[in-house]
Copies of this chain bind each other. A is one copy, B any other.
Amino acid sequence: MKIGIADTTFARANMGAAAADEIRRHTSIRIERYTVPGLKDLPVACKKLIEERGCDLVMALGMPGGAEKDKVCAHEASQGLQLAMLMTNRHIIEVFVHEDEAKDDKELAWLLEQRTREHAVNAVKLLLYPKELERDAGTGQRQGFSDVGPARQ
């Protein structure tokens, strides 16, 4: 089994390195990396990781900018990722950190790494331990900032 990691030169932290490091803490599964210029290059990169390089699951890591144009760009990339998943029957974990989610560069750097790592754990669970996700169904899990918890305490 293999996990693919696709990331960008546009992002402002090495999300791909963080993902690879986190995955290695939990499993010795093989990892394939693929770096592209920007968000819109991610969907086909993920599909190639699955179909040409044999990945069973891929993480798509990106950082949309804060302008309106960037939001549209992220939306188009997300639609492409949906399509790539449905064409391959494989999960692609989308990890997008919008530049304007963080209040400054320091928090941005933290959030880029933290969310990537928490989603890397999800990727491992989806592939190897699906029962752990079922156990957490409906418990208000979040990646990056704190969990919210269930509505009925």
**Which A residues are within 8 Å of any B CB, using their own CB?**
7-17, 33-37, 40-41, 43-45, 47-48, 51-52, 69, 71-73, 75-87, 89-94, 98, 105-106, 108-109, 112, 119, 122, 126, 130, 133-134, 136-143, 148-153
Contact = CB atoms under 8 A, between A and B. Distances in A.
Contact of A148 (B12, B35, B36, B143): B12
A60 B76 CA distance: 16
A14 to B, nearest CB: 4
Contacts of A11: 137-138, 140
Nearest to A81: B40
Nearest to A125: B37
Contacts of A126: 36-37, 41
A48 B152 contact: no
Give 10 nearest A-B pairs by CB, closest first.
Answer: A14-B138, A80-B82, A44-B85, A109-B152, A109-B151, A12-B151, A9-B141, A35-B134, A9-B136, A35-B133
